[in-house]
């Protein structure tokens, strides 16, 4: 992935950088869906978890490419997830 940075120049430049995005998976009737809270509108569906993971990876790439083409800064990842256990 490339990220826009300003390095002593008024023109933005792109550098390769790895970024991790949280993906939320949900079981639907007959398939799975997923979305990325840090990239609103970036979603995918698939018949299996593996299929939706692959489709989400591609969706994120396309989403970020579109943002770059439109000169929209890549958002800072803010989402986190964790399970908590409760005795009910």
Torsion of CA 11, 70, 42, 57, to 10 degrees: -60
Q: What is the pTM of this model?
A: 0.74
The mean per-residue pLDDT over the stretch 68-81 comes to 92
pLDDT at residue number 20: 87
pLDDT at residue number 11: 47
Mean pLDDT, the chain, whole residue set = 85
pLDDT at residue number 68: 93
Residue 47, pLDDT > 70, answer yes
Region of 41 on the Ramachandran plot (φ > 0 left; ψ -120 to 50 alpha; else beta): left
CA distance 64 to 72: 9
Domain ranges of the chain: 22-70
CA distance 22 to 38: 7
Residue 66, pLDDT > 60, answer yes
Torsion of CA 63, 67, 68, 74, to 10 degrees: -90
Q: Which CATH architecture has domain 22-70?
A: 2-Layer Sandwich (3.30)
């Amino acid at each position: 992935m490339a990220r826009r940075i300003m390095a002593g120049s008024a023109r933005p430049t792109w550098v390769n950088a790895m970024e991790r995005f949280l993906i939320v998976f949900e079981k639907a009737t007959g398939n799975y869906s997923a979305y990325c809270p840090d990239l609103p509108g970036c979603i995918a569906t698939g018949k299996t978890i593996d299929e939706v993971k692959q489709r989400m990876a591609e969706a994120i790439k396309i989403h970020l490419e579109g943002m770059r083409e439109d000169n929209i800064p890549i958002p800072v990842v803010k989402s986190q997830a964790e399970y908590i256990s409760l005795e009910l």
